[in-house]
A and B are shown apart, each in its own frame.
Chain A
Amino acid sequence: MLRLEGVESGYGRTTALFGIDLHVAPGEIVALIGANGAGKTTSLMTVCGNPRAKAGRIRFGGDDITNLPTHAIARLGLAHCPEGRHVFPRMSVLENLQMGAAFADPAHFHGDLERMLERFPRLRERLHQRGGTLSGGEQQMLAIARALMSRPRLLLLDEPSLGLAPMIVRDIFALIERVSAEDKVSILLVEQNAYHALKLAHRAHVMVQGRIVASGTGAELLADRDIRAHYLEGGAGV
């Protein structure tokens, strides 16, 4: 579904990714964990062409998307729910969801909207409220719902739990699991909250300073002593 081969990327003259290889198969949840500044966000953004990969290849489905413009990549069915949520602050919840569906088949709109509002009852209550007035957890739900409105084949999720209360974090992870099953969407999940992410993911990669240093199933990495020490028990990543 998604495959990165030797992808290098960065900002201006600084390099942030030094040859990333990874793939996501249909139906899979793949997690990317690592400390702050490791290059997780850059990896997801490079998939979307901003910043552009300096070397390597990125394929999505049958297409080589390495040099496609960001909007064209999105229209292929690759939804990105970025770090910091990026809800449109002065558009209503409904308009935010309409933006998500901007390039989906309009015939699906009402059905999909209804499904999202059933899944996120809070959004129904706030349907005509401005995005900027929602709480952090509600904004995260809106950002995920907006991404799903495009009926993507692959969802990139960047730190969905960032800054949320522990109870809401649990909800969000439960939701990601449900979404992956119900919407038949593959997920590439970036998290600093490694424990939850590894429990949820089929496979995972650990990133350090722009490189992937360990890979395995979620359970394997969860059991690994070094990784526990670094990312789960008060290490740099927690």
Chain B
Amino acid sequence: MEYFLQQVINGVTLGGIYGLIAIGYTMVYGIIGMINFAHGEVYMLGAFTALIAFLAATLLGGADSALGLAIALVATMGFTALWGWAIERVAYRRLRKAPRLAPLISAIGMSVVLQNFVQVTQGARVKPLPPVVHGGFTLMQAGTFKVDLSWLQIGILLLTLALMAGFTWVITKTPLGRAQRATQQDAKMAALLGIDVDRVISTTFVIGAALAGVAGLMVTLYYGVIDFYIGFLAGIKAFTAAVLGGIGSLPGAMLGGLLIGLIEALWSGYFSIEYKDIAAFSVLILVLLFRPSGLLGRPDVEKV
């Protein structure tokens, strides 16, 4: 029981991180009907930006202060947002009316470029970061086994919840969110009502990228090691989460992320840690077989 609880805590933390990345996939798919295959690399760039920011802050002696964390967060979100904008501009905008294979290939190209760019400029070796946020407390104890909840996990969960709640509010209640949903449902009509569709699409990439950047920062803090290749697997898992929840659905992305995180943590806790990735992908295959529109997706993926 205690062991199970510990795995659930780990799984939810991981799930929140996947969920944040999955939002970017689902939003972009919703609005242009294409998967942003460079999105995983944005997350990786976020992790590296955070690493650099923390190392700089350590040199200045303030990495573990609240201010240090806030600055790293803002720097990471700003930098990844810029990359999100660039990806849309370079790999998608001109190809929006092209056959669907074209933007797919250009996005994969973008992804390769970003991976290699980081590999060349930062080196291929694994980068460690000494723990920045220390401590936590023991929830319960059974014999020698302790159920721990670290401050870092609490911080990750709270920040994830706040971002998801804030983002849901933006989408459902603000003019920007309305413009986004309108563009998603009928871009031609949205333009006739004065909506600058290009700008709305750009904004979608930017917001999705900033959220993935936060996920990258969290992973840097949580695991303490990153390399230029982490975007690939995390990207595929978050994509799995988005499909599991129902691609195009915002609550679906969050739920899917949570489930993938839990499955992964429980699988590695009870079965085999080597095969944890297989667990997540098996679930994806089952969902695609038995519920292709995902858990919260619409069965009719209508396109106007």
Contact A74 B185 (CB under 8 A): no
Pair A86/B194 contact, Cβ less than 8 Å? no
A37 at the interface (CB under 8 A from B): no
Q: Report the bound CA distance from A99 to B192 in whole Å.
A: 11
Q: At the interface, yes or no: A146 with Cβ under 8 Å from chain B?
A: yes
Within 8 A of B (CB), among A56-110: 69-71, 74-75, 79-80, 82, 86, 88-91, 95, 98-100, 102-103
| Shortest distance between the CB of B185 and any CB in chain A (Å) | 5
Say whether A74 contacts B192, CB under 8 Å.
yes
Nearest A residue to B302, CB-CB: A89
Q: A91-B181, A99-B178 are in contact. Are A71 and B188 (CB under 8 A)?
A: no
A150 at the A/B interface (Cβ < 8 Å)?
yes
Residue of A nearest to B197 (CB): A71
Give chain B's interface residue range (CB within 8 Å of chain A): 10 to 19
The answer to whether B182 and A71 touch across the interface, beta carbons within 8 angstroms, is no
Q: Does B90 contact A (CB under 8 A)?
A: no
A146→B178 CA distance, assembly (Å): 14
Complex Cα–Cα for A159 and B195 (A): 23
Question: Across the interface, which residues of A come within 8 angstroms of B185, CB to CB?
Answer: 88-91
Q: Is the interface of B mostly helix, strand, loop or mixed?
A: helix
Expressed in whole angstroms, the Cα–Cα distance for A90 and B249 within the complex equals 12
Asked if B178 contacts A150 (CB within 8 A), the reply is: no
In the complex, the answer to whether A74 meets B194 with C-beta atoms within 8 Å is yes
Check if B193 sits within 8 Å of A91, measured CB to CB. no
B178 A70 Cβ-Cβ under 8 A: no
Q: With A90-B185, A99-B182 known to touch, is A50 a contact of B191 (CB < 8 Å)?
A: yes
Show 12 A/B contacts (Cβ-Cβ < 8 Å), sorted by A.
A71-B196, A74-B193, A88-B181, A88-B185, A89-B185, A91-B181, A98-B175, A98-B178, A99-B193, A100-B193, A102-B179, A150-B194
Give the B-binding residues of A (Cβ under 8 A).
48, 50, 69-71, 74-75, 79-80, 82, 86, 88-91, 95, 98-100, 102-103, 146, 150
